[in-house]
Structure 1
Amino acid sequence: MIFKYTGTFLLPTLALMLISFAAYSRFERASMLEILHSDFVRTARAKGISQSRVIFRHAFRNALIPVATLFSLNFGAVLSGAIITETVFGWAGMGTLLVNSVRQFDPPMLMGWLAVTATLIVLFNLIADVVYGVLDPRIRLG
């Protein structure tokens, strides 16, 4: 039964993922280049830790912090309404709700949409803050 709906979700999911994939990879690359020249990475290399362990245990985790920020903002934005993707694939979602309420001038619906969207953005920013603590132990609160 699961395979029946896989094709239905595959193309919209790919469309939404590929929009942000270039930005994620550019942010990760820039962050990784900056982190690889930092003092704690040089210290780890000087201790004799293997190159792969230095990259994955030390550098990569710290380089994921800006990407976690970008991901949380994009995820909240995608859930609040991907108008073009919903239009192309014929799905009625938050984007369609926004467009219809603007066309019909429905202020209560617009305020509800705004409240849900703002709540999602705040929620995903909170999740990103928790992820920061997991990625970098120096960020954790005492």
Structure 2
Amino acid sequence: MINILQFRELCIELQHKVNAISDSQIDTVVMAVREEHMVKKLQNKFGITLCASFPDAQSSGTEDNYTDNQQAFFFVVKRLTPGQLDDETEITTYAELQDIMLNLRDVIRDYYSECMGIIPEESYKIEWEYQIFGGVNGLSMGVTFKNND
């Protein structure tokens, strides 16, 4: 199972690499165990946030060849009050978040997929999110990876 401190460092590196290639910037990184935990951590956050779930692990294999398959979810979100934005501003904001998420996906594929052992067939599905974590909107992406010990 990936060390949670190393995973936090990875998330911070991702923020810096994505910010270097994106027109818009990720303002903060938030990690949490569960959705309720994420809600509390995002209460006073504004701007664009990269959220990450702590990776779950499923161990498999035999005595001499254990493998942990782990799954984490990344979210690129921004607090948007429903009905407060006109259609043009809303779609422009979603386009901004989409650009960041696509850059995040590319950075993970280009720089981290091999060292993390990412399983491409089970990763990189991007979905739109509306009013998650107590009222933020954006996109989510799941990543599944192997960790051989």
Give the shorter-chain TM-score range. Answer: 0.3 to 0.5
TM superposition score normalised by structure 1:
0.33
Greater strand content: 2
Which has the bigger relative contact order, CA under 8 A and spacing at least 6?
2
Question: TM-score scaled by structure 2?
Answer: 0.32
